[in-house]
């Protein structure tokens, strides 16, 4: 639960700024593109630092990395509250992304070592659901706090709780070293080929270039990276701009628009867990069906949101369709990284998940808010929100392509590991 709680503060600090958009626009005269950039810069810096921090996690240990990253982003949140200009706020938000860069891969790698492959999509979906849940708290509490105490207190409100949770995490034990499972497999493989006397301690962490080459050769992982990024373009768009859309189109207050947006994000959180569990059940007998779940949900999301913003007028019917679309919108948050973990070696899991962070942030989360802001400045926010669901159609194609190679990639690693573990058992007897 501590892993989920710290992840929730991550997303609160990231999302809470959207409630302050109207106030920042009024105080500093910012364009929609400039406001969107305050969200996108977090994703860009996360993408830039994700791989270096993931490699550090593989070498240094997951628990210490998680505690350090949590402390850093919490300090950045407190800095945001003291910003005296747009440039200072932009810099503080960028530092928030640096701190958040290592948490996702380290947390997912830590949880993956505790649970078997058949439960991974469910477990990682619960972990990823902390994102929508934290976003809910961010927009709801942010909308309330900003109306009563201003945007500065709003941006710094969760900095101290984040620091406390980060310090508490130092008491968590990392029971399995990141390379432990791989070392055992490698030792057994050496024995089977006659390389007796090779110590498992001599098995070094592969170089980054070698690891990246290995990951790029796994086609399923590549398609999951692409599908996850494309899906997150739309998710980040909706979570960032829906409060502003409701304020402009329906005349709602910041608190009211935040509350209505929270319903959409809550639907996403429920969908993340529900569809993650469904993916595990569907993949139990035919593994490729695990990735068909996010493919179908991405297609459904595109259809629902295109209809909502492109056809229906603002009002109750439109918002009901947006809430319905929120349920499948976040379905890939757990299933995509679970599929990546399934098809790579345990020793490089944190790096593989770091690659996912790079793709999802640089090509997904960073794109949605600022691109929507630019389209809004040119054509209006409603038109922008009607066009952005097309990214989910592309995500559906990517997940479908990944499902076609998943069984082959899963079978190659699974067969090799099973053979090695069998040899290990024979040696012990």
Query: Average pLDDT, whole number, for the chain?
Result: 81
pLDDT tens-digit series, residues 15-48: 889 888 988 998 999 999 999 999 999 888 888 8
pLDDT of residue 193: 40
Q: How confident is the model at residue 287 (pLDDT cuts 50, 70, 90)?
A: confident
Tokens of 346: 């345990």
* Among 180-189, 205-214, 249-258, the least confident range: 180-189
Q: How confident is the model at residue 120 (pLDDT cuts 50, 70, 90)?
A: low
Asked whether 235 and 268 are in contact (CB, 8 A), the reply is yes
Q: What percent of the chain has pLDDT over 70?
A: 84
Question: What CA–CA distance (Å, rounded) separates 148 from 344?
Answer: 49
Instruction: Name the more confident of 323 and 58.
Output: 323
pLDDT of 419 higher than 60? no
pLDDT of 197 higher than 50? no
pLDDT of residue 183: 44
Q: Which residues contact 285 (CB under 8 A, 6 or more apart)?
A: none
Report which of 111, 113, 109 is spatially closest to residue 123, judged by C-alpha positions: 111
Q: What is the mean pLDDT of residues 119-132?
A: 72
pLDDT of residue 397: 96
pLDDT of residue 226: 92
Instruction: Name the more confident of 159 and 353.
Output: 159
CA angle 396, 399, 404 (to 5 degrees): 130
Q: What is the mean pLDDT of residues 275-295?
A: 85
Instruction: Name the more confident of 204 and 305.
Output: 305
What is the pTM assigned to this prediction?
0.74
Question: What CA–CA distance (Å, rounded) separates 72 from 75?
Answer: 5
Q: How confident is the model at residue 412 (pLDDT cuts 50, 70, 90)?
A: low
- C-beta neighbour count of 285 within 10 angstroms: 7
pLDDT of 117 higher than 50? yes
pLDDT of residue 238: 95
Q: How confident is the model at residue 227 (pLDDT cuts 50, 70, 90)?
A: very high
pLDDT of 426 higher than 70? no
Q: Which residues contact 387 (CB under 8 A, 6 or more apart)?
A: 375
> What kind and span of H or E run contains 401?
helix 390-428
The DSSP code sequence of 122-183 is HHHHHHHHHHHHHHHHHHHHHHHHHHHH-HHHHHHTTHHHHHHHHHHHTTS---S-TTHHHH
Helix (H, G, I), strand (E, B) or coil at 269: helix
pLDDT of residue 175: 54
pLDDT of 2 higher than 90? no
pLDDT of residue 137: 84
């Amino acid at each position: 639960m501590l892993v989920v709680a710290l992840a929730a503060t991550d997303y609160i600090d990231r999302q809470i700024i959207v409630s302050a958009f109207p106030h920042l626009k009024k105080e500093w005269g910012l364009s929609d593109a400039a406001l969107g950039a305050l969200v996108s810069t977090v994703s860009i810096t996360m993408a830039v630092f994700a791989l270096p921090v993931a490699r550090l996690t593989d070498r240094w240990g997951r628990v210490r990395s998680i505690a350090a990253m949590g402390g850093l982003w919490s300090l950045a949140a407190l800095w945001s509250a003291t910003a005296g200009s747009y440039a200072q706020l932009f810099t503080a938000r960028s530092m928030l992304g640096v701190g958040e860069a290592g948490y996702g891969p380290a947390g997912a790698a830590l949880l993956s070592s505790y649970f078997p492959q058949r439960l991974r999509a469910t477990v990682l979906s619960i972990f990823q659901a902390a994102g929508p849940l934290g976003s809910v708290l961010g927009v709801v509490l942010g909308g309330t706090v900003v109306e009563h105490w201003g945007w500065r207190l709003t941006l710094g409100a969760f900095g101290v709780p984040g620091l406390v949770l980060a310090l508490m995490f130092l008491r968590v034990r990392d029971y399995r070293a990141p390379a432990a499972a791989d070392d055992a497999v490698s030792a057994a493989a050496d024995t089977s080929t006659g390389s007796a006397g090779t110590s498992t301690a001599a098995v070094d962490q592969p170089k980054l270039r070698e690891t990246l080459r290995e990951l790029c050769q796994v086609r399923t992982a590549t398609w999951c990276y692409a599908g996850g990024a494309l899906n997150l373009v739309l998710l980040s768009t909706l979570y960032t701009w829906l409060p502003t859309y409701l304020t402009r189109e329906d005349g709602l207050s910041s608190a009211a628009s935040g509350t209505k947006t929270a319903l959409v994000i809550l639907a996403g959180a429920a969908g993340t867990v529900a569809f993650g569990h469904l993916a595990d059940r569907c993949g139990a007998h035919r593994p490729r069906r695990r990735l068909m779940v996010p493919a179908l949900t991405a297609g459904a999301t595109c259809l629902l949101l295109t209809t909502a913003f492109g056809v229906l007028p603002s009002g109750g019917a439109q918002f009901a369709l947006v809430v319905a679309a929120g349920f499948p919108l976040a379905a890939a948050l757990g299933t995509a990284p679970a599929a990546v973990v399934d098809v790579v070696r345990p020793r490089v899991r944190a790096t593989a998940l770091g690659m996912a962070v790079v793709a999802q942030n640089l090509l997904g989360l960073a794109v949605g808010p600022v691109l929507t802001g630019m389209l809004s400045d040119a054509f209006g926010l409603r038109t922008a929100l009607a066009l952005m669901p097309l990214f989910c159609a592309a995500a559906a194609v990517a997940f479908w392509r990944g499902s076609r190679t998943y069984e082959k990639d899963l079978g190659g690693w699974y067969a090799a590991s099973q053979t090695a573990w069998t040899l290990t058992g024979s040696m012990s007897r």
